[in-house]
Homo-oligomer: A and B are copies of this chain.
């Protein structure tokens, strides 16, 4: 995919949005950290198909998960995801439920065969994952950036990783704090497990560098209630911790192609539409370009501004979540309030951090970031 083609396609999409302006004038720019903005054309298609999916005479919500028509939906979603991420054949793709939080248990229950794992703590979610893993075995904190409110990614070039560890665990993009690993940790040959909830499909990824990649879809891919896990096949065994619920065993789901019981059918259908949208936009390389362009607009302004400051060490800045502050709580509140009125919504920072946060996932158009920066400039002048 060349640079221009990706941009052109995105541009076409923006133009088609403009043509439909009468119907969509009430849409806001939604900077929610998740559930988050979805491509408008995906929502339009879903609305159009709500009463009759492609001549089936029913909504996707009403279909048996064992019907041919639904089988095509889930199979095609998997196929498109495999193509987008270039997932090798020796990895299974599972559509699961329970959010990342349920994986905090499922990961150790399935993978802690030797009883030991290392966790790198870069925020609240990695911390929660570690706490849960400690209930199942010897889960060790390898490094942490808690000393500076998780505003950076620790040096992971030479961590105390040992051969007796089953895996090393990271949260690759930290939604709350706005950091992202720009380079994967040196795991010294130990399997890497990554929660990618908030950077899923935001840029190309080398799946072979991971043992497990998983994430909730509700940030970059679809509606809350679906988790996608990409797992190297040799790790999917019956040898789970005793008492692992059948539904939490990867093998249960892998053997049944994610249809052991009724999956979250409608959510998977929306994910499938988003996969097709990303493909049309030019795939993950085009997404990366698009995301870098958007993030640059915002970070450049933060670096210039006398009022607004980014909170993250520049080298570890996330392309997806951009936290910033004015340094004055009242001014932060005023900004959020006025921005909301102007149609820039969900900019309030996470309750544990304060300030502001703009989440600019794949489906956020460049226009949204440009207009936000215009608004911020204007706000700065006035205050």
A residues near B (Cβ < 8 Å) are 23-24, 26-28, 30, 32-38, 40, 43-44, 46-48, 50-52, 55-59, 61-65, 67, 97-102, 104-106, 109, 132, 135-136, 216, 218, 222-226, 241-243, 245-248, 260-267, 270, 343, 345-346
Contact partner of A43 (CB less than 8 A), chosen from B24, B50, B106, B245, is B50
> Could you tell me the distance in whole angstroms from the C-beta of A64 to the nearest C-beta in chain B?
5
> Could you tell me the distance in whole angstroms from the C-beta of A275 to the nearest C-beta in chain B?
16
CB-CB < 8 A to A263: which residues of B?
A: 224-225
State the CA gap A332–B101 with chains docked (Å). 46
State the CA gap A43–B48 with chains docked (Å). 11
Contact partner of A62 (CB less than 8 A), chosen from B38, B109, B246, B248, is B38
Q: Are B24 and A51 in contact (CB under 8 A)?
A: yes
Stoichiometry, copies per complex:
2
CB-CB < 8 A to A64: which residues of B?
A: 32-35, 346
Q: Is the interface of A mostly helix, strand, loop or mixed?
A: loop
CB-CB < 8 A to A262: which residues of B?
A: 34-35, 99, 216, 218, 224-225
CB-CB < 8 A to A37: which residues of B?
A: 58, 62
CB-CB < 8 A to A100: which residues of B?
A: 261
> What residue in chain B is nearest A103 (Cβ atoms)?
B247
Q: Are B35 and A52 in contact (CB under 8 A)?
A: no
State the CA gap A345–B52 with chains docked (Å). 14
Q: Are B35 and A101 in contact (CB under 8 A)?
A: no
27 pairs across A/B with beta carbons < 8 Å? A23-B51, A24-B52, A27-B51, A30-B57, A32-B67, A35-B64, A36-B62, A37-B62, A38-B59, A40-B51, A44-B51, A47-B50, A47-B51, A61-B222, A97-B98, A98-B102, A100-B261, A104-B245, A104-B247, A105-B245, A132-B245, A135-B243, A224-B263, A224-B266, A225-B262, A225-B263, A266-B267
